[in-house]
Structure 1
Amino acid sequence: MDANVFFWHLLNFLAPAAFLAVTLGLGAWALRIPRRLPLWTGIGLNFVLGSIVLGAGLALTGSDGKLTTYGALVLVMGSFQWLLRRNTGAA
């Protein structure tokens, strides 16, 4: 596999994490949910966390694109986004 093919494989492998990180970050911003971190820091951390989940899913299942991996990706990144909320004292 040459460098060009590897680049496109890697880009497609990380695309779900990037899409979900941006969607969660901009969604929280649009809904004006108070956050502990700036917008782009939260998006970056979500992307790194999502990439780790995708890599773990690839290592555990032996192939990428498994539904369990995507389910874990949504669960972990959604939970992390919830943790990024600033405690405002409201329920």
Structure 2
Amino acid sequence: MNLHDIVFHLLNFAAPALVLALLVPLLARLLFRKQAQRLPWWGQVLVNFVVGVTALLASLWWLGRDGKMLGYSLLVLAVASSQWLLVRGWRR
């Protein structure tokens, strides 16, 4: 594999985490307008992206390959939990 292929493999690996990290804070702002946000939107995206990539890496390590539904379920659960913690969802 050359460098071009390696870059595209890494980008495709992280793409689901990036899309989810962008959508979750956007939808949270639309649905929960009254809630005071502790971090700006880009901070929430950054935290959710790091958590999502970490979840994908953990599922790759545990399952031995990428693209399994269990790994994507872990990604959704991790990013949703991260967003809940960021907006202090336990205080409602």
- Normalising by structure 1, we get a TM-score of 0.90
Aligned to 2:5: 5
Deviation at 1:35, TM superposition (A): 2.0
Aligned to 1:72: 74
Number of corresponding residues: 90
Aligned to 1:14: 14
Please tell me the residue identity of whatever aligns with 1:49. V
Higher helix fraction (1 or 2): 2
Instruction: Show structure 2 runs of 5+ residues with no match.
Output: none
RMSD value, Cα: 1.7
Alignment map for 1:2-81 (pairs within 5 Å): 2-31=2-31, 32=33, 33-81=35-83
- Residue-by-residue CA offset, 1:19-77 (whole Å, 9 max, x unaligned): 00000011112232432211100100100110000011111111001111111111111
Identity over the aligned pairs, expressed in percent? 45
- Normalising by structure 2, we get a TM-score of 0.89
CA contact (8 A) 1:34 1:86 kept: no
Instruction: Show structure 1 runs of 5+ residues with no match.
Output: none
Please tell me the residue identity of whatever aligns with 2:38. R
